[in-house]
Copies of this chain bind each other. A is one copy, B any other.
Amino acid sequence: MNYKIKETADIAGISIRTLHHYDQFGLVKPESSSPSGYRLYSDRDIEKLQQVLFFKELGFSLKETKEIINDKSFDKNKALKNHKELLLKKKKRLDEIIYSIDKTIEYIEGDKEMGKIEMFKAFNMDEIKKHQEKYFKETKQKYGESNAYAECEKKTAQYSEYKWKEVMEKASGIFQRIAECMEKSPADEEVQIAVGQWKQHITESFYNCTLETFRSLGDLYVTDRRFTKNIDKIKPGLACFLKDAIHIYCSNQIYSKI
């Protein structure tokens, strides 16, 4: 069954503007539209909206939510279970804040002492944020990435300090080389050679980097802020350039295999 936008907004308890925004953002796009261009939301869209509201309730950004939900391996069941865990943590935090209120009242009425740390610790979101990040990270590693992570852990666990330094310097050198070619096209031969070397280096030093994994990693360089931030320290815009270069590299490798 199809619902027009006001019906949908009323059902979900959100604004029409929000639905517009979600459509434009690519988070929840209606499955069809009328001949006059009206959005028509299906039952499946409605269910997706519910998922979105769960993620929103738990503090995930729309961007994060989009990445997780629109992934073809999105597991609703697993997500819901994870949500429940998070919600229980939020509930515990609420309890702590309530307790903190009681304590503050006693303090104000002069009955008790209250330390500075005690005043604020209930507001702490670290545990919740850590869990969110863990879940997001796990989700992003859905494919070979989770295997890659395990392999990487195993391989690097035996590295000596000297080996680590070697690995890092080689990585740095490759990135530096690519950064120096940034005024060229990502498809430039020199860039592509360096990208190939980067892939090789990953396979040798961290985990078996398949083309698929490599492409996903390239995406991560621009979608995961930590990656972007670190890479762009070398040169602003490098993360984006590198992503493009990796995509071209992977496409070329795929093409050459057909």
Contact = CB atoms under 8 A, between A and B. Distances in A.
Interface of A: 11-13, 46-47, 49-50, 53-54, 57, 76-77, 80-81, 83-84, 87-88, 90-91, 94-95, 97-98, 101-102, 104-105, 108-109, 116-117, 119-121, 123-124
A117 B11 contact: yes
Contacts of A13: 120-121, 123-124
A90 B81 contact: no
Main secondary structure of the interface of A (DSSP, over half): helix
A48 B104 CA distance: 12
Task: Say how many copies of this protein the assembly contains.
Answer: 2
Contacts of A90: 94
A80 B95 contact: no
A95 B90 CA distance: 10
B84 A120 contact: no
A50 B104 contact: yes
A84 to B, nearest CB: 5
